[in-house]
A and B are shown apart, each in its own frame.
Chain A
Amino acid sequence: MIKVHREICAYCGCCVSVCPDGALELVDAYLDIDMNACKDCGICVRVCPLGALEAKK
């Protein structure tokens, strides 16, 4: 499961562009995660420039 730390996220969309499953969406100033589409690959967690994403067990 992916968690967004909204106090860190600067809603830049970098993570959205790399998600292979289209599970992320930048809705204006917040990031939305479609938990059903997410495959927990962790790619978004790695690329976030600020470290706003966390993979949770």
Chain B
Amino acid sequence: MKREYDVLVVGGGPAGAFAAKTFAEKGYTVLLTEKRPAIGAPVRCAEGVGKTLMHEFLKPEDSWVAAEIEKANIIAPDGFTMELEPEKAGSEVGYVLNRKVFDRDLVWMAAGAGADVQVKTRAVSPIMEKGEVKGAILNQGGSTYEIRAGLTIAADGVESKFSRWCGVDTTVPFREIETCAQYLMTGIDIDPNATDFFVGNLIAPGGYVWIFPKGDKIANVGVGIGGDRSKPGNRPVDYLNRFVAKNFPNGKTIELIAGGVSVCQPLSCTVANNLMIVGDAARVSDPLTGGGIYAALYTGQLAGDVGSKALENGDTSSHALMPYDSTWRSSYLGKALERNYQIKEVFIKMNDEDLNAIIHSVSKMNLTDFNTLNLIKSIISANPKIAIKLGKAGLKSFIDSF
């Protein structure tokens, strides 16, 4: 058995798979190790992804796409529905995927490109020599062995421990974890081409309820709330059960999904000597929407590109890997994360009255005016109370971020 690779990838989610695929395509020897017995299962996702974002990387296969989404509805606490038609909804118009199939196909692509893959094989600690990562100790079926690698990629998802073992603090502040519960439901009356987002402090404090269709009468119905709002009797699963009892009393639940999404700032540095951190492990999921599939694909591929160059030059020091960190931060992704973090900080402080006011005023806005700065300006002039809530400093950072 091979014990030495150019690249070791810890974690077989979209970020790890894309990193492994990219390195393998460039001719490097790669081992991708996944602790679970099956790639992509259990699912920890509502499976929505924007079409344009997805097309940046992949041509979607029929087997991945459960539903195509044409519009999004945002439902205010008072029940008012704002419809976002394609032009307005922007990249929210997209696909609802079958992640079990999607994730597996991505790993297959990596394997097809030449990467070795192991499942039910957990990285239990890094190999550290003189403060540098030199691979990892893996546990496979109860026995442990060393895999040495020039470059190690931490793609170990929201529960990431690998980077922590290497000395990077990855703890998500508990008010900045969106704690989630979701049912895959069947036999429910829904629009199969529209996603619904319900906001309000009674149904999802510091978060939202989503309905993401996966076909006729089938959908992911879930709720995410701020970690600091979760209490006995008012946990995500309690909010979900109440929502479902009220809205889909006759629906049948065929899958229970739990999960956490980080809505904090990204890690302050996503490289170290011989180490790159990608996807959820780098805390690059969107703080406002909780979406992280695009970020996982983007950072996975970018790590592959930058890491390959570093390997080629024989220098995988944190300095040589730094272009990975600076590139994603200044990219579309980095900017969106920064902006949406600011918006999220405001959003979670809103009471239902604020939310109603905002959704009503946005729905009246003229389509041609629909750019973000205009949106913010109109919201603020329509709802001066919200401006007061933000405070001067908040307002400035808010507007600066666009």
Contact = CB atoms under 8 A, between A and B. Distances in A.
Interface in A1-41: 10-20, 22, 25-29
A17 B260 contact: yes
Contacts of A18: 171-174, 177, 227, 260
B42 A47 contact: no
B258 interface: yes
A20 B171 contact: yes
Chain A, interface residues (CB within 8 Å), range: 20 to 34
Contacts of A46: 174, 227-228, 230-231
B262 A49 contact: no
Contacts of B79: none
A44 B259 CA distance: 13
A3 B93 CA distance: 42
B329 interface: no
B258 A49 contact: yes
A10 B256 contact: yes
B122 A51 contact: no
A28 B158 contact: no
Consensus secondary structure, chain A interface: loop
Contacts, number: 94
Contacts of B237: 49-51
A15 B262 CA distance: 11
A22 to B, nearest CB: 5
A49 B171 contact: no
A25 B161 CA distance: 8
Nearest to A46: B230
Interface string B288-308: 000000000000000000000
A37 to B, nearest CB: 11
Contacts of B158: 13-14, 16-17
Interface residues of B, number: 36
A12 B259 contact: yes
B339 interface: no
A26 B227 CA distance: 19
Contacts of A12: 42, 44, 257-260
A47 B230 contact: yes
A10 B181 CA distance: 10
Contact of A14 (B42, B256, B258): B258
Given A17-B260, A18-B171, A49 B235 contact: yes
B164 to A, nearest CB: 5
A26 B230 CA distance: 21
B161 A16 contact: yes
B314 interface: no
B157 interface: yes
Nearest to B223: A49
Which of A17, A22, A50 is packed against the most chain B CB atoms within 10 Å?
A: A17
B236 A49 contact: yes
B180 interface: yes
A14 B55 CA distance: 30
B210 to A, nearest CB: 14
B42 A11 contact: yes
Contacts of A19: 171
A18 B173 CA distance: 6
A50 B160 contact: no
A27 B124 CA distance: 10
Contacts of B170: 17
B235 A50 contact: yes
A26 to B, nearest CB: 5
13 contacts: A12-B258, A13-B159, A14-B259, A18-B171, A18-B174, A20-B171, A28-B35, A46-B227, A47-B227, A49-B179, A49-B180, A49-B181, A49-B260
Which 10 A-B pairs give the minimum distances between C-beta atoms?
A14-B260, A13-B159, A16-B159, A12-B258, A49-B236, A10-B258, A47-B227, A12-B259, A17-B172, A49-B181
